[in-house]
Structure 1
């Protein structure tokens, strides 16, 4: 999605909605997660109406992704992204999985995937 399709984003000015507004003034997520926690949509629709940022975060979680990647794509601080994602966890719309131990091979593969994605963007 480009800025022309997002009324709350202006190319020159950035986000037009303050992060504390996105999180409804909350500063702590209800679900503990780390930047490298993996997040994936469950396929279940959350109850009620989704705010635009919740809907966009849910869309980014169609395939496994990290909290850090969601934050970067939403252009939001990590703590605000964690609050959005924890709302989606509470609604049953996404699952999270904490990263493994440092010697866990999946942790290395996640870091390599993130590094590859960052290098492609530079």
Structure 2
């Protein structure tokens, strides 16, 4: 599988452009990106929730910032919330709010993880252990 292309082609998030607090790290920018919201308007967005864009890269649509557009670029193929968070180098809570915005606009679709009841299969645990050993 090929790595996704750079989600920030215009490069808006250069390290020297971030507002940093000596002990807390990046603080103001995520707050501004989400308009102060800390929860998505809808959707749970577990780290393993899979996200895919429903249309080709979205042009500048009203209410979408560069971070929203970066997510739609990344999600042209299926990607987990954890992967999106890593590629964008943003806090997971911020990414969840942005994903909620995209879901509200009908620009993405989700595949939620299997319910916990299905997680009691011993074969699943064996596969996870085998995968960890292979690393």
TM-score by length of 1: 0.72
State the alpha-carbon separation in 2 of the partners of residues 103 and 97 from structure 1.
20
Q: Residue 26 of structure 1 corresponds to which residue in structure 2?
A: 37
State the alpha-carbon separation in 1 of the partners of residues 113 and 89 from structure 2.
22
Is there any run of 5+ residues in structure 1 with no aligned partner, and where?
none
In structure 2, the CA distance between the partners of 1:40 and 1:4, relative to structure 1 (3 Å rule), is: closer
Q: Residue 40 of structure 1 corresponds to which residue in structure 2?
A: 52
State the alpha-carbon separation in 1 of the partners of residues 55 and 8 from structure 2.
27
Is there any run of 5+ residues in structure 2 with no aligned partner, and where?
1-5, 20-27
- How many pairs does the alignment contain? 107
What secondary structure, in the 3-state scheme, does the structure 2 residue paired with 1:18 have? helix
State the alpha-carbon separation in 2 of the partners of residues 63 and 102 from structure 1.
26
CA contact 2:7–2:71 (8 Å) conserved in 1: no
Structure 2 residue 86 is the aligned partner of structure 1 residue 72? yes
Structure 2 residue 101 is the aligned partner of structure 1 residue 84? no
CA contact 1:3–1:9 (8 Å) conserved in 2: no
TM-aligned CA deviation for residue 48 of structure 1: 2.2
Structure 2 residue 72 is the aligned partner of structure 1 residue 58? yes
CA contact 1:29–1:82 (8 Å) conserved in 2: yes
Higher-Rg member (1/2): 2
State the alpha-carbon separation in 2 of the partners of residues 60 and 3 from structure 1.
10
